[in-house]
Structure formats: C-alpha cells, structure tokens
C-alpha cells in the first residue's frame, strides 16, 4: 500500500467474490465530495476466513467495513453490539470498529426506503406493499418498511413457512401494521408497491405472481440491477408498472454507512447519476 493511502482512514468492502463491487467507487466519490480523508478498498475474504480477515484488518488500523455476500450473517455474529435495525434483520452489512467494540448495522433497508421515497418520489405511508422473498435481503427491508406505516405489508415466499417466520418477527417489531404471509402464487389482490428481494433475477427468472397483483398504479422495485432490466422488471413493464432497479438502493445504503463512519451525510444524486451513466454505457 502506498504512503498516501496509509495517511488516510482505512475502510474496506469484504465479500467473496468482491472485485465486481462498486463500493470503492461510491465511497471515493463521497469522500471527495465531503472532504474526508479515506482509503476504501476491496477485501477478498476466504469463505472460511471472514472473522480472521476482519480481525486482521482491524488490527492493522482499519476503522470500518461494508460486508456483502456471503458474509452478512457471520458479520452479525461477529459484532459485539447491534443497531436495532441490524438486530431486526439478523444480518449486518456495515461494521464500525472502536477500541472496545465492533458495531454492526444494516443499512440495506433504509437505503431501499430512501431510494423509493426520496429518489423515486413514491410515498409508502398508507400503501399496500408486497415483499417478495424471506431471505437476508427481505429481512433487512422489513423494519424500515414498517416504520413508514404502510396500510399492510404482505410477505410472499416460495416456501410459505419462511414467510411466516418473517411475518412473526415483523409483527413483534411493529404490531401496529398488519403483516401477512403467503406463497408467491397465492398473494391476494392488488399492490401499490411490489419489491423483489428474491434471487430470481440472478437466474433471469420471474417470481410466479398472480394476475392483477401489479398494474399501471404499481411501483415495481427489484433490489438487483444490471446493464439491462431484470426479468422481474420486464414482466412488470408489460403490465404497465412504474419500474425501478436497485442501483439507487446501493448508493443510498452506502451513504448511510458513510454517515455512520464519518458523521457527515453525502449527497447521493450525482453519484447515482454517474453510476447510471456507467451502466448505460456498458449496455451499449
């Protein structure tokens, strides 16, 4: 590592694989914008060596880390203190190190909500929301979604039992908001917002939603993003829905982590525009 970088506060994004992550680009832009002296790099951790990698980085003076697939559950277990939203999610994507503790946070859900409410201009208060999936991505989204006080949150998963487990956790956290659980093919009625937190987009597949679940009145949101619309967003567009991918969520969750670490909140609009232009250029 060069001398200039050692003079800066050090952060990393940890995962396996990790070279594809745009987090260093995002945090470099945030640091330049806010005048923060930061060095932010990729850190590839062995699949059986996450804790060792974190502890070594911390021992070398690292101040914090973002955590991505497949280590978010291990990061939760490694943290000595959790924020309420991390405890609710049971998963951690942001670590902050001090002399005495490792703070674990989960900024994914608030990043999602911020992108929907502020960037897309869609209110969630009083709306009927369908959350597809019951894995780590969905767990991270539940509490921030419920804090917006929707009229109802419906959790749908291929395995209904997992949806019911998440429903019970959600109800315990926010009993004032009705939460129900279904299999994806059995969800009832129309939704104002449909959020895809499943891994179906990685296989270019579409969750088996019934007809009428979404239409031109619906915001269809996929947590995934790419150079082309996902299969879920293509399906939603065929039904006239307003479509949005997860690029804004990526930027907003990063901004939340940056604010935790540095005590200053960056402006995300220019960074999101830069990343979007990069995706469009890559798409040709």
pLDDT digits (tens, 9 = 90+) for 57-116: 999 999 999 999 899 999 999 999 999 999 989 999 999 999 999 999 999 999 999 999
Any domain includes 263: no
Any domain includes 269: no
C-beta atoms surrounding 272 within 10 Å: 19
CATH value at residue 47: 3.40.50.10860
Percent of the chain at pLDDT exceeding 90: 89
97 with 115, same domain?
no
Any domain includes 138: yes
Name the binding residues. 21-23, 68, 93, 108, 133-137, 157-162, 223, 225, 246, 253
- The pTM of the whole model exceeds 0.75: yes
Predicted local confidence at residue 7, as pLDDT: 83
137 with 238, same domain?
yes
209 with 122, same domain?
yes
Any domain includes 279: no
Q: Which residues contact 201 (CB under 8 A, 6 or more apart)?
A: 222, 224, 230, 231, 232
Any domain includes 48: yes
Any domain includes 250: no
Any domain includes 147: yes
Tokens of 100: 């005495």
Instruction: Give the residue numbers annotated as catalytic, written as ranges.
Output: 72
Q: Which residues contact 184 (CB under 8 A, 6 or more apart)?
A: 132, 156, 157, 158, 207, 208, 209
Name the binding residues for NADP(+). 133-137, 157-162, 223, 246
User: Which one of 56, 71, 106 terminates a domain?
Assistant: 106
116 with 232, same domain?
yes
Q: What is the tens place of the pLDDT at every residue in 177-225?
A: 999 999 999 999 999 999 999 988 888 889 999 989 999 999 999 999 9
Q: What is the tens place of the pLDDT at every residue in 130-172?
A: 999 998 889 999 999 999 999 999 999 999 999 999 999 999 9
Domain range enclosing 168 = 109-245
145 with 235, same domain?
yes
CATH value at residue 187: 3.40.50.720
82 with 121, same domain?
no
How many domains does one find in the chain?
2
């Amino acid at each position: 590592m060069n001398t200039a970088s050692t003079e800066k506060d050090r952060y990393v994004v940890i995962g396996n694989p990790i070279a594809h992550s745009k987090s260093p680009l995002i945090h470099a832009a945030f640091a330049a914008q806010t005048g923060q002296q930061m060095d932010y790099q990729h850190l590839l951790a062995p699949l059986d060596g996450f804790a060792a990698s974190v502890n070594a980085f911390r021992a070398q003076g690292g101040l914090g880390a973002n955590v991505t697939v497949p280590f978010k559950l291990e990061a939760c277990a490694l943290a000595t203190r959790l924020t309420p939203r991390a405890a609710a999610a049971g998963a951690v994507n942001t670590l902050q190190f001090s002399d005495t503790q490792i703070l674990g946070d989960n900024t994914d859900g608030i990043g999602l909500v911020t992108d929907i409410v502020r960037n897309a201009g869609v209110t969630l208060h009083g709306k009927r929301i369908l959350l597809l999936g019951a894995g780590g991505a969905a767990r991270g989204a539940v509490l921030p979604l419920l804090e917006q006080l929707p009229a109802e949150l419906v959790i749908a998963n291929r395995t209904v039992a997992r949806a019911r487990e998440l429903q019970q956790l959600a109800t315990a956290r926010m009993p004032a908001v009705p939460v129900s659980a279904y299999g994806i093919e059995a969800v009832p009625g129309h939704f104002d917002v449909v959020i895809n937190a499943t891994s179906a987009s990685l296989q270019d597949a579409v969750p088996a939603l019934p007809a009428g679940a979404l239409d031109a009145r619906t915001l269809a949101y996929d947590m995934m993003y790419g150079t082309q619309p996902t299969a879920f967003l293509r399906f939603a567009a065929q039904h006239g829905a307003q479509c949005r991918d997860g690029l804004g969520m990526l930027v907003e969750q990063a901004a939340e982590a940056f604010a935790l670490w540095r005590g200053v909140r960056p402006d995300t609009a220019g960074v999101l525009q830069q990343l979007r232009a990069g995706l469009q250029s890559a798409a040709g």
